[in-house]
Structure formats: C-alpha cells, structure tokens
Chains A and B, each alone.
Chain A
Amino acid sequence: MTGQDLSLTLLPQETHMGDAIIEVRNLSHAYGDVLAVDTIRFSVDRGEIFAFLGPNGAGKSTVINVLITLLAIQAGEVRIAGHDVRTAPDMVRRSIGIVFQEVTLDRDMTVWEILEFHGRLYNLPRQERRRRIDELLGLVELEEKRDARTKELSGGMKRRLEIARGLMTRPQVLFLDEPTIGLDPQTRIRMWEYLREVNRAGTTIFLTTHYMDEADHLSNRISIIDHGRIIVTGTPLALKNGLGEDVMYVETSDTAGTEDVLGSLAYVRDVRQKRNGTVFTVTEDGTRVLPAIMDAIRSRGIAVTAVNLKKPSMDDVFVHYTGRDLRDEGAQKWGAGRGRSR
C-alpha cells in the first residue's frame, strides 16, 4: 500500500452511470411506535465505497440489518445485486458478505475453523473453500495465526479475520457495520487500507460509521443520516465544497491595502487581521476563486508572500446539515457503555 494508492481512491467519483448494485426506495422501519427509518432512498453503484454517516441511534444499523436480510423489510423496496430482499432473500444472502458491528467470532475456534465453518455454511465445495482460506489469510496477513484460537487475537486481527470471513463467498457487496469501532488509530488506518484493497479487487463496499474521518477518507460517497432520514448525499469533497465556507489566509506586503481589496469582493466575508496576515471566509469554492483573489491583490501592486486555504472538515459538514455536533453525542452514548445502536 503506497501513498499513491491512497490518493487514487480519494478521487471523487462523480459519474453515475446507473449501474446500481444496491437500490433502496422509500424504506421505512418502525420498532413499535418508534419510526427508526423514515422513507429512505439511495443507491450504490458497483465498485463504490459508500458510507452511511450518522450518530448512534440515527437508524444506520436498522438499514443495514434490513439490507442484509436479518430484519424483515416492513415498507419500501430494496434490491441487492438485482435481487429483492422480500422475495429472494437467499439470493441476496449469496451475493453479500457481512462484517457485524460487534465481534462475532467463536472465541474457542481457530482462525482456520472460523473460515472453514463460514465456507461450509454457504455450501462452498471443499477444494474451493480451502483455496480461498489460504488466499484470504494472505490478504489479511493472518497466515501465522491459522491455528490460533480467536480469543488469542488482538482487536485488529479479529477485525481482519472478520473481513476475510465476509469475503469467503466472493461477495459482490461487502457490508460493514462500524468496521473500526474500538480499534486504535494505527489499526484503523491499516483497516482502511485493507478495505481499499478489497474494493480495488472489485468488491463494492457499504459501511456505516459515526466517525467523520472514516467517512471522509475511506468513502467515495457519503449519505449523512440523522433521525432515520438521509439529509444529504455526495462525495466527501462535494459535501465539503458545498458548504461554500472555505477559510483563507494571506500574508502580503500591505495589510491595509489587502483588506481594502478583499472588502470589494462580493464573495468574501469576515475579514480579520492577524499578526502577520489576513484571515477571511469565502462563500464560493475556494479553490476556484483563489486565483481571482490573488490577481485582485496583485493588481494593486501588493505582493503576496504566503497563502493558505482550509476546506471545511466533515465535522463542519455534519454540523451544517444537522445543526449538531456528532462527536459530542457519540462520546456521550459510547461513554455510557457498549450499547448496540440501531
């Protein structure tokens, strides 16, 4: 895994050719009187990494549970790899792989036995099973742990094993519910690398997360979900650009003159003087207006000595669309114990 690979997967995929592998129309789901999912519609294209971003209790897990056929669909329509979850759940099951939110490994089975059991569950022929186990243990770098019981594995290894298990059946879509919850930062980044590698090999990935950075760095597209509804969908870049609130910083030879120039530009706001330069906000995509701003300053004979542009973070996006800070709520809920989110 190199830095180059990383930047490649970060490129936004704006093209929507309609080759949808997940199609969800007007999906609603209630627990008793509580509406957990409210007329959601979205689609995921073949080859995408698609993330559901939202706080705990937003309805992410309910959606994923309906998609993977663990919860019977109540209202709406869901098609996965062309199969209807209502009429052909077994076909859906054969097309997907799943990594659940909590660790779902038998503590007393070995790494090899976990994969063998899964392969048998899906009726893979013996030779095929054994071949894929070897292959996948290589992919997730667990060859040396083949005969270790899963209770002896670290948190990261367990997750990798679960990813390998999810891939045993060569699924068209891999579903992951909060894939890096409870993992340390380095392990999380390694996990993203594995997932990108899996994605490059042709597996579509659908994940839920309440981590901003995970949605931002890993996904091609994100749906922000809150109170059971999708609030906005887009590439991480488009979502951040869409706020139109890029913050810029310039150092020039003439601070007062610069402030003057900036004051005359319609898309510039909140000009503030700092010790060595000027900070301001632009209401348009900063990468597009930056050259014009530079030109305007230079045309007054002022030299620009330094410039910085800060895009809004995913946190800013979330706060903008939901009016709330995700991290506060997340910390609160997770501090209370290992609750299972729906």
Chain B
Amino acid sequence: MNVGFATVYWRDMLRFFRFKTLLVSSLVQPALWMAFFGVAMSSNFDRLSARFTPGAGIEQIGYLTFMGAGVIAMTTLFTSLFGGVVILFDKNWGLMREIFASPLPRTHIVLGIGLSGVTKAWIQSIIIMVFGLILGVRFFSGYTGVETAIAVLGILAFVGTFALGFLFLSATIAVSMESPEGLQGIITLLTLPIFFTSNALYPTTAFPPFLQALAVANPLTHLINGIRYFAIGSSFSAIGIEFVYTPQIILASYLVLLGFCVGMFLLSRWAFNRAVVT
C-alpha cells in the first residue's frame, strides 16, 4: 500500500508544532471565544430564557452549553478552511514542484494535508471541551465514563469528517489560486454565510424560509447537530426552544457530512490532477 500521504502529513505536523506562535494562537483562540463571547452572551440569554419553562422531563441547558458545540464547530470550520493555505505557499515558493515532480500520486497531497488538518481540529476540539467544562459548559452531564468516551468519539467522528471535507475544499481553492490575498478573500467570503446560516449561536427554527433552506443544506448545521446530540443529549431545551434529536436525524446529518466530504475529495482530485506547477 502506498502511504505517500503519511509523508505529507509528517511534514505538515512538523510545521504545526514548529511554529510556536501559530500553535499557541490556534489553541488559545477558541478558548477566548468561549471565555468572552460565550460568557457575555450566556449572561444575557440565560436571563431571557429564564422566563420560559420547558416541558415536563425536558432538561433546560444554559446558553454557554448551547454555544459550546457552536464554538467547536466554528473553530473546526475556520481551521479547516485555512488548512489548505500551505498548498498555496508551497506552490508560490516553488516547494510544490518537488512534490509534483515526484512519483507521489497527487491525491496523496490532499489526503496528507486533510489528515493533518483533522489532527489539528481534533486537538482543538478536545481543548475547547476541556476548557468549556472548566468555564461551566455542562457537556456529558450525568454520563458514565463509558458513555462519555463514546460521546467524545462520536464528536470526533463528526468533527473529523466535516474537517476533511472543508480541507479538501480549501486545498482545491488553494491549488487553483495565484495569490494569498485572493485566497483569503474567498475563504472569508465562504466562512461568513456558512457560520451565520448555521445553528452555531442560535436556533434556525425562527429563520425565514430561504435562510432555513440554507441552514439545512449547510454542513456546519449537521456538524453541530452531531456535537449537541453526543455532548448534551437527544432532547433538551435552550433559549426557550426544544431540541429533539433522534438517532435517525443524527445518522442523516452524518451522511450529509460524509457525502460532502466525498464530493470535496473528488473535486480536489480533479483540481490537483489538472494543476500545472512550473
């Protein structure tokens, strides 16, 4: 079996741990989101939602817990979309020529970058969960040790599949672009609608129909569904709205992510095979 992607993975991880500022900032940034945005918003929303009384047997969760899943998802989205930038730099600095002129199949470049991006997303997710629990996010409450382990694995599966899809997309854009500024522009253009048409910070049920359709098609919504299901439970109430996740819904969400991931892989394979680097 050709394990060429492991070579690309090795180099990218090497760089990740070598640039201490990048490493630290990428770990601290999501924690800051939780600390400032999360705490600030939850102190407001919790006061509002205190007026609602949930139905019998439905657990009411605080806003910090609600958006904790959103912060994991948002961080994964940002990290993954920027994960392909290294390809553009490699291309512009000529480093990509060494790889393109080698027998390494080009899909392995994408796979290597994808897997290293997934590793980073996992590390970040775990840090956010730990930090969140310290701040008062009530994830895994009432779970046994085994249940918690299963829940964490479930979250990582969702995060990994989602990250992989966006890393493939990011690599596709990067290999097709000439300038880092252009890449930055496109990525910013992508992140805003993806982030704000999702259920990361608020429920989507009150959206107008058009936005609601976008939310349903949005992979970020499905990632967050998965995280909330595993971290909080199958039914809970937040900001006065009841959430019910059946296993069927969660499976469907995962399949959407998987389909997205496969689609993006095919797209990146096409882009890399036609890319010319001289």
- Asked whether A71 lies within 8 Å of B278 as measured between CB atoms, the reply is yes
User: Complex formed: what's the CA distance from A102 to B96 in Å?
Assistant: 12
Chain A residues whose C-beta falls within 8 Å of the C-beta of B15 in the assembled complex: 106, 108-109
- Segment touching B, from A62-70, A131-139, A204-212, A253-261: A62-70
User: Complex formed: what's the CA distance from A65 to B94 in Å?
Assistant: 13
Interface string of B261-278 (1 = CB under 8 A from A): 000000000000000111
List the A residue with the shortest CB-CB distance to B94: A104
- Asked whether A70 lies within 8 Å of B97 as measured between CB atoms, the reply is yes
Which bracket fits the contact residues of B? 20 to 34
Known pairs A117-B11, A120-B7; A100 contacts B97 (CB<8 A): yes
Known pairs A70-B276, A71-B278; A98 contacts B101 (CB<8 A): yes
List the A residue with the shortest CB-CB distance to B11: A117
The answer to whether B36 has its CB under 8 Å from any CB of chain A is no
Distance in Å: Cβ of B188 to nearest Cβ of chain A: 26
Which bracket fits the contact residues of A? 20 to 34
Known pairs A65-B278, A109-B11, A120-B10; A104 contacts B98 (CB<8 A): yes
Chain B residues whose C-beta falls within 8 Å of the C-beta of A117 in the assembled complex: 7, 10-11
- Asked whether A70 lies within 8 Å of B99 as measured between CB atoms, the reply is no
- Asked whether A122 lies within 8 Å of B103 as measured between CB atoms, the reply is yes
User: Complex formed: what's the CA distance from A105 to B96 in Å?
Assistant: 10
Interface residues in B102-150 (C-beta closer than 8 Å to A): 102-104
List the B residue with the shortest CB-CB distance to A94: B103
- Asked whether A104 lies within 8 Å of B95 as measured between CB atoms, the reply is yes
- Asked whether B14 lies within 8 Å of A113 as measured between CB atoms, the reply is yes
Contact of B104 among A61, A100, A121, A342 (CB under 8 A): A121
The answer to whether A93 has its CB under 8 Å from any CB of chain B is yes
- Asked whether A93 lies within 8 Å of B103 as measured between CB atoms, the reply is yes
Interface string of A87-113 (1 = CB under 8 A from B): 000100110001010111110110001
Interface residues in B244-266 (C-beta closer than 8 Å to A): none
The answer to whether B4 has its CB under 8 Å from any CB of chain A is yes
Distance in Å: Cβ of A148 to nearest Cβ of chain B: 14
Chain B residues whose C-beta falls within 8 Å of the C-beta of A104 in the assembled complex: 93-95, 97-98
Chain B residues whose C-beta falls within 8 Å of the C-beta of A100 in the assembled complex: 94, 97-98
List the B residue with the shortest CB-CB distance to A175: B101
List the A residue with the shortest CB-CB distance to B102: A121
List the A residue with the shortest CB-CB distance to B6: A120
The answer to whether B78 has its CB under 8 Å from any CB of chain A is no
The answer to whether A154 has its CB under 8 Å from any CB of chain B is no
The answer to whether B51 has its CB under 8 Å from any CB of chain A is no
The answer to whether A123 has its CB under 8 Å from any CB of chain B is yes
Distance in Å: Cβ of A279 to nearest Cβ of chain B: 48
- Asked whether A70 lies within 8 Å of B103 as measured between CB atoms, the reply is no
Interface centre among B7, B10, B97, B102 (most CB of A within 10 A): B102
Distance in Å: Cβ of A228 to nearest Cβ of chain B: 16
Contact of A121 among B93, B99, B276 (CB under 8 A): B99
Contact of A70 among B2, B14, B278 (CB under 8 A): B278
Known pairs A70-B277, A70-B278, A108-B15; A121 contacts B94 (CB<8 A): no
- Asked whether A70 lies within 8 Å of B95 as measured between CB atoms, the reply is no
The answer to whether A118 has its CB under 8 Å from any CB of chain B is yes
Distance in Å: Cβ of A328 to nearest Cβ of chain B: 27
Chain A residues whose C-beta falls within 8 Å of the C-beta of B14 in the assembled complex: 109, 113
Chain B residues whose C-beta falls within 8 Å of the C-beta of A69 in the assembled complex: 101
- Asked whether B7 lies within 8 Å of A121 as measured between CB atoms, the reply is yes
User: Complex formed: what's the CA distance from A102 to B4 in Å?
Assistant: 25
User: Complex formed: what's the CA distance from A109 to B7 in Å?
Assistant: 14
Chain B residues whose C-beta falls within 8 Å of the C-beta of A120 in the assembled complex: 4, 6-7, 10
Chain B residues whose C-beta falls within 8 Å of the C-beta of A109 in the assembled complex: 11, 14-15
Residues of B within 8 A of A (CB): 2, 4, 6-7, 10-11, 14-15, 18-19, 93-95, 97-104, 276-278
Interchain Cβ contacts under 8 Å between A and B, 24 examples: A61-B278, A70-B97, A70-B100, A70-B277, A70-B278, A71-B278, A94-B103, A102-B94, A103-B94, A104-B93, A104-B94, A106-B11, A109-B14, A117-B10, A118-B98, A120-B4, A120-B7, A121-B4, A121-B102, A121-B103, A122-B102, A123-B4, A123-B103, A165-B98
Given A94-B103, A98-B101, A123-B2, 12 additional A-B pairs, CB 8 A: A69-B101, A70-B97, A70-B277, A93-B103, A98-B98, A100-B94, A100-B98, A108-B19, A109-B15, A121-B7, A121-B103, A342-B278
Q: 6 closest pairs, A vs B, by CB?
A: A120-B7, A104-B94, A121-B102, A90-B103, A93-B103, A65-B278
Residues of A within 8 A of B (CB): 61, 65, 68-72, 90, 93-94, 98, 100, 102-106, 108-109, 113, 117-118, 120-123, 165, 342
